[in-house]
Chain A
Amino acid sequence: MIGRYDELFFVSNPLELALAVIQLVRGNWPQAIVEDPLTGASLESAILGTAALPEQIFIYRDEAAKHSWELNGAIPANNHTMIHLAVDDHTLAVIVDDPQEAWTKQVLSSVSQKATDLSMLRMEAAA
């Protein structure tokens, strides 16, 4: 069920990391639909940088997953078909069904490594 687990990443620029998560997930979900849950609008322009990323982002595995979520909500059949990102000033929350599910675990680990790597890059540059 979506919303059962929030992985929090405390970073200086959560939107930058959110964009990295979108690209990471799209590597595995090439047909992913990325949208603003408040408006239902596609975020393709925001991904390209011509519009701002919102503070809430849904990444559906594909069009069928989006349709099923809109029709049925958080039913077991929709497990692992949508990732929810929530951003505030210094935090990115990656909200998933089960952080121990194999692929989800890999993604969360990659996001954590990415956040650490970005911090290290900048600490080195600032030193």
Chain B
Amino acid sequence: MTVLTHRLEKLLENAGLEWGLRIFSPREEAAAFYLARLDRLQKFMSSRGLGENASSIATIELLSTHSPFRADAILEALISIRSPEIVCAAWRIIQGMTVQSLSVEYVHCDRFKLTIILKSADDEVEIYSSNDIDDLPFVRHLSKCKLGESPLLDGFHALRRK
């Protein structure tokens, strides 16, 4: 086990996400798998000019100190969402971007498309999309409410909190 996989395993255990480790056999392969996902996320963020280190283990460790609920949310995203692009959308919401629009298109045994448009406080817009139905769990992590009669989807949350 490398230092990085050990640190990621500790983060998952401390967040109460041991189940994400137990679903692998042997269990030791789990952290390496999630580390590879994190690496793909970092490469994706770098390709979008969003900062290569923005999603590093060190950043998640820092979050787990200051805002454990946000660290838990990104760790769950690493476990349950397939595409780096959609994990990145989750990460950007955790960093404070708001969900401007969300669309899910599905046709039985034909196609799936998830599109997320995010907006920053400076009105910068970022678009994320995926054709992989294994990214659908993203939607489940959003919380909803109404502002007056207007619908509001916001916040990417951990579903399991200790």
Contact residues of A with B, CB < 8 Å? 12-13, 15-16, 19-20, 23-24, 26-27, 30, 46-53, 106-107, 109-111, 113-114, 117-118, 121-122, 124-126
Enumerate chain A residues within 8 angstroms of B141, measured Cβ to Cβ: 121
Enumerate chain A residues within 8 angstroms of B159, measured Cβ to Cβ: 121-122, 124-125
Enumerate chain A residues within 8 angstroms of B70, measured Cβ to Cβ: 49
Instruction: Please tell me which stretch of B23-31, B34-42, B92-100, B127-135 contacts chain A, meaning at least 4 of its Cβ atoms lie within 8 angstroms of it.
Output: B92-100
Taking the complex as formed, is B3 at the interface, i.e. its CB lies under 8 A from any CB of chain A?
no
Number of interface residues of B (CB under 8 A): 27
In B61-119, the 8 Å CB interface with A consists of: 62-63, 65-67, 69-70, 94-96, 98
Give the CA-CA distance A46 to B66 in the complex, in Å: 8
Knowing A16-B69, A46-B66, A52-B66 touch, does A110 contact B152 (C-beta < 8 A)? yes
Give the CA-CA distance A124 to B140 in the complex, in Å: 11
Enumerate chain B residues within 8 angstroms of A109, measured Cβ to Cβ: 146
For residue B125, give the distance in angstroms from its CB to the closest CB of chain A. 15
A27 with B96: CB separation less than 8 A? no
Enumerate chain B residues within 8 angstroms of A47, measured Cβ to Cβ: 96
Q: A52-B65, A110-B146 are in contact. List 12 more A-B contacts (CB 8 A).
A: A23-B98, A30-B121, A47-B96, A48-B95, A52-B67, A110-B152, A113-B144, A114-B143, A114-B155, A121-B157, A122-B159, A124-B159
Taking the complex as formed, is B148 at the interface, i.e. its CB lies under 8 A from any CB of chain A?
yes
